[in-house]
Amino acid sequence: MTMHTLGDAPSTLEQDWRARGLPTFRPWMGEHYRTPTGITAGRRLLVLGESHYVDENERGMVGTTPPGFTRTVVEKLALAERPYPFFDKIARLVAADADGRITRDRTAEFWQSVAFCNFVPVIVGENRVPDQWMFKAGTETVQSLLDELEPEVVIACGIRLWDYFAPNLEGYSGPAYQTDVHDDGRAIFGKFYHPSARKFRLGDWAPRARRLLDQAGKPRMKGHGLRWSDLGA
């Protein structure tokens, strides 16, 4: 697949996606996402990942958007007996004990308490960065997912994701790198290292996840941007 800049002519994959009407994956919503029970104590938490990947032998799926793909991924990889590392680390951010340990049952309880979706609305090839048009497609579709899910807290997984995502949030101003936390008047959004990043350390990011959840309990301040240091994290 060829990398394209925003000024290039659309790729065939992009044209096909647009011809299908800008489809998105159906998000995962745990059983307790909209209830006062569950690990987040009724706070609607959305985990926003970057993109879905497939193995080389499934490369025919690249650029497509099977509606139930996200839900299948969560069921197979997050709720598995041994959860996939990404889903395991995200659960530990919020639900682990003080030593970072978590049981299989508590991991499952976490994923039944939150929503999950990816920013890029098409499947990406194996072990690759999404093409630029794929990120741009995400900027065109993510708001509809936010409107549907109505999260109070959003954990955005990845600095690269944040660079595309944050400037499109309501009330956001300035370069993406200047802000770690944004309030759009309805939800609090936090920039996190992707769990697969070398610099990701649970001991650094778990306190920030807790501060983000605490911040959601305060009055909304649309357009208010913060650094993690402003929250003491």
Distance CA 143, CA 60 (A): 28
The pLDDT value given to residue 8: 47
Task: Tell me if 23 sits within 8 A of 67, measured CB to CB.
Answer: yes
Distance CA 110, CA 90 (A): 9
Ranges under pLDDT 50 in the chain: 1-8
The pLDDT value given to residue 10: 63
The pLDDT value given to residue 4: 36
Q: What is the pTM (predicted TM-score) of this model?
A: 0.92
Q: What is the layout of strands, in order, in the sheet containing 188-192?
A: 28-29, 115-118, 45-49, 153-157, 188-192, 181-183, 224-226
Q: What is the DSSP letter of 178?
A: G
The pLDDT value given to residue 34: 93
The pLDDT value given to residue 37: 80
